[in-house]
Structure 1
Amino acid sequence: MRITDTPEEWRVTATETPFTGHKTGVRTDEVVMPDGSRSSRDYQTHPGSVAVLALDGEGRVVVVRQYRHPVRQRLWEIPAGLLDVPGENPLHAAQRELYEEAHVKADDWRVLTDVYPSPGGSDEAVRIFLARGISEAEGERYEGDHEEADMELARVPLDDLVAGVLAGELHNTCLAVGALAALAARTGAGFEALRPANAPWPARPFEA
């Protein structure tokens, strides 16, 4: 049986934003439950994100390693970043992030998968792309700051990433979901069967 998520919205009778940060915030909604009762729901508001699983001709994935303060860990991740501008084309954002974090460009782009990383506590939506036909980008290498200032860069075989995820050694959501989705695509219908790079994304509508 094939199943699919469906849009639904319970009635909100009141809302407030007790905190607004530089990119994200916290919202409190008073929601009418199916039985008519009311309950408050607190959640993080988020502009959305993109991530890129960039696969080279040898079956290796471009990964970066950086410090993540909330979890006190230095994590291996795939290049990723925020949708900084409302309505921003996610493909353009993904191409930017791949250039800035890995100084790489790609000839072939497809949608690997779309996820809500933490739907019980955040409205963040992430689109993970598969990028192939990769090569070194032209021009100056982007100089990052803060966590990106000492970012490490590597290329790791896809199968090794999957093994690391299943062994509990790699924890980043986008890396884990991206690696497992890429393995499923590779062993299933193939990468050519993935959605095109500008496929609709109802969670974060954009200009094509």
Structure 2
Amino acid sequence: MTEPSRIPVRTQPADTPEVWAVKSRRVLGEGRLFDYLSDEVVTPSGDTMRRDFVDHTGAVGVIAVDDDEHIIVVAQYRHPVGFRLIEPPAGLLDAEGEEPLAAAKRELAEEAGLAAEHWRVLVDVLTTPGGVNESIRIYLARGLSAAEAPDGFEAEGEEAHMEVLRVPFQDLLDGILTGKLQSPSLVAGVLAYAAVRGREDMLRAPDAPWPARTQLERTRAAADPIPDAHGCTRD
């Protein structure tokens, strides 16, 4: 039994980049957008463990706030969970060479028909780190105006059936705290916005470094056939 007062105090905590050696990797399944992988991982003590996970492209989302403190959201069907979720405009980082901010601007135009004058990084989230390597960067966008969808864009699948809404900030916050709203990008974005309202200058610039994206490349490289003390190979 541990007394709370005996737990070490750490001020200014931060996630620490760390990559354990991968002895082997198998592709359990290839999907349209994501692969399902199985790694045999070597722990610091020399033991091995198997970890299965989804290799994800990453994503961006936008908390777009108008002059009346309404937030622009979409109602989108999500088949794996069986809900039409209230979410911020968002999308995958699946376009070759596209920068995250450019992707966020594109998604805002495609899904909501809007552009924004002012952009800041609101929050970065690793959505399901125990089983998916997805990272999402959520931006705060202000100074909204109408915008045309990018050339060649055509809504399909779930996007063809989305509904765009303006919702008062307080209603979204209340919905999250009462369990009526569950989208991780909405929950993270709205709660982060609640924490910085009136202090938005403290937020990071829209092109700020994104540590999770940098680390993702390192973890992918860990499965390459690099000679090491554990004889790391790739299946």
- Residues 109-128 of structure 1 aligned to structure 2 (within 5 Å): 109-128=119-138
- Whether contact under 8 Å (2:113, 2:149) holds in the other structure is no
User: Aligned pair in 2 of structure 1 residues 161, 139: CA closer, same or farther (>3 Å)?
Assistant: closer
Question: Following the alignment from structure 1 to structure 2, what is the Cα–Cα distance between the partners of residues 203 and 21?
Answer: 23
Percent identity over paired residues? 49
Q: Which structure has the greater CA radius of gyration?
A: 2
Question: Following the alignment from structure 2 to structure 1, what is the Cα–Cα distance between the partners of residues 90 and 52?
Answer: 26
* TM-score with structure 1 setting the length: 0.93
- Whether contact under 8 Å (1:52, 1:128) holds in the other structure is yes
Quote the offset at 1:52 in angstroms: 0.3
Could you tell me which residue of structure 2 aligns to residue 192 of structure 1?
Answer: 201
Quote the offset at 1:88 in angstroms: 2.6
Q: How many residues align?
A: 203
- Whether contact under 8 Å (1:104, 1:137) holds in the other structure is yes
Quote the offset at 1:103 in angstroms: 0.2
User: Aligned pair in 2 of structure 1 residues 33, 139: CA closer, same or farther (>3 Å)?
Assistant: closer
* TM-score with structure 2 setting the length: 0.83
Q: Which AA in structure 2 matches 1:58?
A: D
Could you tell me which residue of structure 2 aligns to residue 146 of structure 1?
Answer: 157
Could you tell me which residue of structure 2 aligns to residue 4 of structure 1?
Answer: 14
RMSD of Structure 2 on Structure 1 (CA):
1.5
Quote the offset at 1:149 in angstroms: 1.2
Question: Following the alignment from structure 1 to structure 2, what is the Cα–Cα distance between the partners of residues 76 and 125?
Answer: 19
Quote the offset at 1:87 in angstroms: 4.5
Summarize deviations over 1:144-198 as a string: whole Å, max 9, x none.
11111121111111121111000000000000100000000115xx111100000
Structure 2: runs of 5 or more not aligned: 1-10, 215-235
Could you tell me which residue of structure 1 aligns to residue 181 of structure 2?
Answer: 170
User: Aligned pair in 2 of structure 1 residues 45, 140: CA closer, same or farther (>3 Å)?
Assistant: closer
Question: Following the alignment from structure 2 to structure 1, what is the Cα–Cα distance between the partners of residues 19 and 160?
Answer: 41
Could you tell me which residue of structure 2 aligns to residue 181 of structure 1?
Answer: 192
Structure 1: runs of 5 or more not aligned: none
Question: Segments of 4+ in structure 1 off by > 3 A?
Answer: 138-143
- Residues 83-94 of structure 1 aligned to structure 2 (within 5 Å): 83-94=93-104
